[in-house]
Amino acid sequence: MLIWDNLNVHKAAGLREFAASRHWLTIYYLPPYAPDLNPVEGVWSLLRRGWLSNVPFTTPQHLIQRIRRGLRHIQYRSELIDGCLAETGLTIRPT
């Protein structure tokens, strides 16, 4: 199962054909604007308020470096990830 937002790339013809040829794959799309259902939005919010705020990026590589540093920090602080998931009201249940 794959849950995606409505980014136009996620709905491209080639990707639809690829998914249709995999009977084991089910894709669900989030509503057109649903940041409250997408935990990734919480991660981006953390990045924007922390590692990306008030930084004059000098090159694209500088931006990438800051994003990677921020994601690495978030990765090792499970309470931040748990918070992003909790904001959505979704839960993870082992099957």
Q: In which band, very low, low, confident or very high, does the pLDDT at 29 lie, cut at 50, 70 and 90?
A: confident
Would you state the structure tokens that stand for residue 83, as one six-digit string? 């918070």
Residue 6 has pLDDT above 80, yes or no: no
**What pTM was estimated for this model as a whole?**
0.58
Provide CB contacts within 8 A for 71, sequence distance 6+: 43, 47
| Residue boundaries of the structural domains of the chain | 1-32, 34-95
Provide CB contacts within 8 A for 43, sequence distance 6+: 71, 74, 81, 84
Mean pLDDT calculated for residue range 54-78: 92
Q: What percent of the chain has pLDDT over 90?
A: 31
Q: Which of the two residues, 8 and 12, has the higher pLDDT score?
A: 12
- What is the rounded CA–CA span in Å between residue 70 and residue 46? 8
Q: What's the mean per-residue pLDDT of the chain?
A: 86
Whether 87 contacts 42, CB under 8 Å:
yes
